[in-house]
């Protein structure tokens, strides 16, 4: 055979060859159609945003409505004037607390309120407040009263009180005592405090008839009168307060008497704790 006629090699099966797409075929339609992205992530995002907006709106509504509801209940229960100024504050997100039926904390405060004839500023914080009835987890706070109201608080006690003057940390009580049938002016400077729920006043200075008395020698020079002047004076005011309320502290701060109180959580359900307490006879 002649070497002039060369034989062409067979195509390599491994080589890539372009595939012809016949117009109108299914492959052509698939190639021409754009790929559609799934829309569910966007729909889910919109749902989440709407729910977030609703939750925020509900929280704002709850914060706007709840203080008014609480204020109305307190004003009614304590028989306060309809226009009584009373601030109501809560902490944390309200919606979960409302759903659970218990407020974590509830703070009530007012610059001036009259209870049992005594007017002062009150700031009380209650914890674990049930919304559907039941006892509180507890409550504590402070009552702030001026010199005139403090004088009224001590009225009817054994202390000779006509007036009270504050000079932190002490209070000076002025009045009179009977000596041989005559009224003699008496002034006692006392450091206030509390013990076992009673008010306690520890004498630090005294004067009778305008003359200063040496407290260390009062008992020896004035007998039983001097001895009484030098001893701490305990004053029970339980009969003027609800039995479920206990005095835990008393101090003079910035020209006012600040009385710390502790409230039994069962006071909202136990009527005996709402009644006046009793002082030992």
The model's pLDDT over 187-222, given as tens digits with 9 standing for 90+, comes to 889 999 999 999 999 989 888 888 888 777 776 666
| Structural domain span for residue 61 | 41-133
* DSSP reduced 3-state for 37: coil
Please answer whether residues 223 and 216 qualify as being in contact, where contact means their C-beta atoms are separated by less than 8 angstroms. no
Q: Indicate the pTM of the whole model.
A: 0.75
Alpha helices in the chain (DSSP H): 26-32, 40-77, 94-100, 147-154, 215-222, 224-230, 271-274
Please answer whether residues 129 and 136 qualify as being in contact, where contact means their C-beta atoms are separated by less than 8 angstroms. yes
Q: 281 lies in a domain?
A: no
Same domain? 260 vs 185: yes
Three-state SS sequence of 50-68? HHHHHHHHHHHHHHHHHHH
Same domain? 193 vs 244: yes
Q: 196 lies in a domain?
A: yes
Same domain? 163 vs 265: yes
- Give the separation between CA 235 and CA 255, rounded to whole angstroms: 21
Please answer whether residues 73 and 82 qualify as being in contact, where contact means their C-beta atoms are separated by less than 8 angstroms. no
Query: Average pLDDT, stretch 40-49?
Result: 71
Alpha carbon 199 to its chain's center: 24
Residues 6+ apart with CB under 8 A from 180: none
Please answer whether residues 243 and 275 qualify as being in contact, where contact means their C-beta atoms are separated by less than 8 angstroms. yes
Same domain? 184 vs 245: yes
Total domain count for the chain?
2
Same domain? 154 vs 268: yes
Q: 14 lies in a domain?
A: no
pLDDT tier for residue 7 given thresholds of 50, 70 and 90: low
Q: 213 lies in a domain?
A: yes
Please answer whether residues 201 and 195 qualify as being in contact, where contact means their C-beta atoms are separated by less than 8 angstroms. no
Q: 15 lies in a domain?
A: no
What pLDDT was estimated at residue 88? 92
> Of all residues in the chain, what percent carry a pLDDT higher than 90?
33
Structure tokens at 210: 């305008």
Q: Name the domain boundary from 108, 133, 158.
A: 133
Same domain? 167 vs 216: yes
Same domain? 98 vs 161: no
Q: 34 lies in a domain?
A: no
Q: 224 lies in a domain?
A: yes
Residue 269 has pLDDT above 50, yes or no: yes
Q: 138 lies in a domain?
A: no
What pLDDT was estimated at residue 1? 47
Strands (E), the chain: 87-90, 102-115, 118-130, 138-145, 163-167, 170-179, 182-195, 198-208, 211-213, 233-235, 245-253, 256-263
DSSP designation for 273: H
């Amino acid at each position: 055979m002649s070497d002039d006629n060369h034989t062409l090699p067979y195509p390599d099966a491994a080589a890539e060859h372009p595939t012809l797409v016949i117009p109108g075929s299914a492959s052509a339609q698939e190639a021409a159609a754009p790929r559609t992205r799934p829309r569910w992530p966007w729909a889910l995002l919109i749902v989440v945003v709407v729910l977030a907006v609703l939750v925020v709106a509900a929280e704002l509504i709850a914060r706007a409505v709840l203080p008014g509801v609480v204020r109305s209940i307190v004003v009614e229960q304590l028989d306060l004037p309809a226009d009584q100024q009373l601030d109501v504050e809560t902490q944390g997100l309200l919606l979960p607390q409302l759903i659970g039926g218990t407020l974590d904390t509830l703070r009530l405060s007012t610059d001036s309120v009259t209870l049992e004839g005594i007017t002062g500023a009150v700031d009380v914080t209650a914890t674990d407040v049930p919304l559907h009835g039941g006892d509180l987890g507890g409550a504590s706070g402070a009552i702030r009263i001026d010199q005139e109201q403090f004088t009224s608080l001590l009225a009817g006690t054994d202390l000779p009180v006509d007036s009270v003057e504050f000079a932190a940390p002490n209070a000076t009580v002025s009045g009179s005592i009977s000596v041989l049938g005559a009224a003699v002016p008496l002034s006692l400077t006392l450091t206030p405090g509390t013990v076992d729920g009673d008010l306690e006043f520890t004498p630090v200075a005294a004067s009778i008839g305008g003359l200063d008395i040496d407290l260390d020698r009062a008992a020896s020079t004035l007998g039983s009168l001097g001895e009484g002047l030098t001893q701490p004076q305990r004053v029970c005011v339980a009969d003027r307060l609800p039995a479920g309320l206990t005095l835990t502290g008393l101090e003079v701060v910035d020209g006012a008497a600040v009385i710390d109180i502790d409230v039994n959580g069962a006071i909202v359900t136990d009527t005996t704790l709402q009644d006046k307490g009793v002082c030992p006879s």
